[in-house]
Amino acid sequence: MSKLETLADAFHDELQDIYSAEQQIAKVLPKMIKKANSGKLSQALTAHLEQTKLHVERVASAFEETGKSAKAKKCEAMAGLTKEAEETMAQDADADVADAILIGLAQKVEHYEIATYGTLCTWADQLGYTNAKGLLGQNMDDEEKVDKLLSNLSRHANLAAKA
């Protein structure tokens, strides 16, 4: 583990973390897509999988301004969230309940990403990493849009699950 002496060190460390997080998400989303019962939910998760692949590329490009190569450091938070998702998806659930659960799991991931990208954008701004800030800001915007879409889908899913 390297010593974090400057904001630039912290930025690089957090960038490695989100790089890992996005890679982990790309691995769990196909399983979530298969578990989705609603066509709209499946579409939303499929679109987000494609976005996530782009997010991985953007994060890799954001490393350029740090002068260090793109390298992931295992994101323990995302490992926990994906483990929870795997365990929850393995449970037997009514189709409507399963969709409500999937949306909740996906939103936990989105909220983690939004918080991380917000921090990274603030730090990139402070460090003068304009290209990184732009790339990471695009990812944050995408995550916020997905979160809003999931919130809209949850209204129907939750009502159906409640019945």
> Does domain 7-162 correspond to CATH entry 3.30.379.10?
no
DSSP readout, 57-118? HHHHHHGGGGTS-------HHHHHHHHHHHHHHTS---HHHHHHHHHHHHHHHHHHHHHHHH
Q: Provide the whole-model pTM.
A: 0.94
Where are the domains positioned within the chain? Answer: 7-162
Report the chain's mean pLDDT, rounded to a whole number.
Answer: 95
Per-residue pLDDT of 12-22, as tens digits, reads 999 999 999 99
